Amino acid sequence: MDVRMMEPLTVCTPTYNSADCVERALDSVTDIADEIVVLDSDSTDGTREIVRDYDSVALYDYEFEGFAHMFRTAATKASNDWVLYVDADEEVREPMASEIRRKLTDPTKDAYETFKRNRMWGRWMHAKHKKRPILARVEALSWDDAIVGEEWRVRDGYDVGELEHPIHHYAYDSVDEYITKWMGYTAADALDEYESGRSSSLLYFYLKGAAAFNYRYFYERSVLDGWQGLFFSVMSAVFYPVVDARLRRIQKLQKERDDWREWWIENKC
């Protein structure tokens, strides 16, 4: 009888003051993970104490330098050939866990991508993140150097498949939490734009904002999500004019102080 074993799996999870959600994330992967790598960025809310209660967790200190850098670092800590990336505010539900077991019992691809189903302000939304290859062989993935909005890529020569089931993302409970993170993301995006060589441009960023609203509200069907969908779509549109304004500030700041980049990351991102 041919009894095949599932390929050993490392789950990589970043944390920062995630005490309110990390237990749910770790509980959801303990049955499929042979190892859980947690990169913690100086949490002070009890996150580290919660994480240490899990026998399969390897906890590492991590000084945040951007999401792409964080994922690369997590991959270097994995002792298995296969990795699954699960954020602290995400959950792998049983249908997805069962699908992962099947995929890794007889892998036919080198990476498997899926989308996130987002919960915002008490509602599961129609809007989804772009598909990402969150389950992959360690060597199959790469990321660009963006601080936020990093691009997940499967390297040339590796085959990509899809997972049928999404990962569930508990994004925001309150509007205040959303706006705080939103402001940090606008600052990080402005820095990425500056370092890519783009200058401030009313036409470019305001048109991009208009396109973002149409994409969120109509294409992703946030129109069906009540006030939450309208609010999310409007904030997605306003995001880009704010990036333009912050890009203008960076252009002045880099002329005023030599340590402008470090100051911006520490105080704005």
* Residue appearing with tokens 């995400």: 90
pTM score of the predicted model: 0.88
- From the list 180, 158, 104, the residue with the least C-alpha distance to 135 is 104
133's enclosing H/E stretch is strand 132-137
CB 86, CB 156: distance < 8 Å: no
Nearest-angstrom CA–CA distance, 75 and 88: 16
Q: List the end-to-end C-alpha distance of the chain, in Å, as a whole number.
A: 56
CB 45, CB 2: distance < 8 Å: no
- What angle, rounded to 10 degrees, do the helices at 260-267 and 175-195 form? 160
Nearest-angstrom CA–CA distance, 135 and 163: 9
3-state secondary structure of 6: coil
3-state helix, strand, coil in the chain (%, to 5): 45, 20, 35
Nearest-angstrom CA–CA distance, 57 and 243: 38
Give strand pairing partners of 83. Answer: 10, 136
Nearest-angstrom CA–CA distance, 116 and 86: 11
Q: Checking DSSP bridges between strand 82-85 and strand 132-137, what pairing results, if any?
A: antiparallel
Per-residue pLDDT of the chain (269 residues; tens, 9 = 90+): 344 589 999 999 999 999 999 999 999 999 999 999 999 999 999 999 999 999 899 999 998 887 888 999 999 999 999 999 999 999 999 999 999 999 999 999 999 999 999 999 999 999 888 899 999 999 999 988 777 777 899 999 999 999 999 999 999 999 999 999 999 999 999 999 999 999 999 999 999 999 999 999 999 999 999 999 999 999 999 999 999 999 999 999 999 999 999 999 889 88
Nearest-angstrom CA–CA distance, 265 and 69: 14
pLDDT of 4: 59
Q: Which CATH architecture has domain 9-171?
A: Alpha-Beta Complex (3.90)
Q: What is the DSSP letter of 215?
A: I
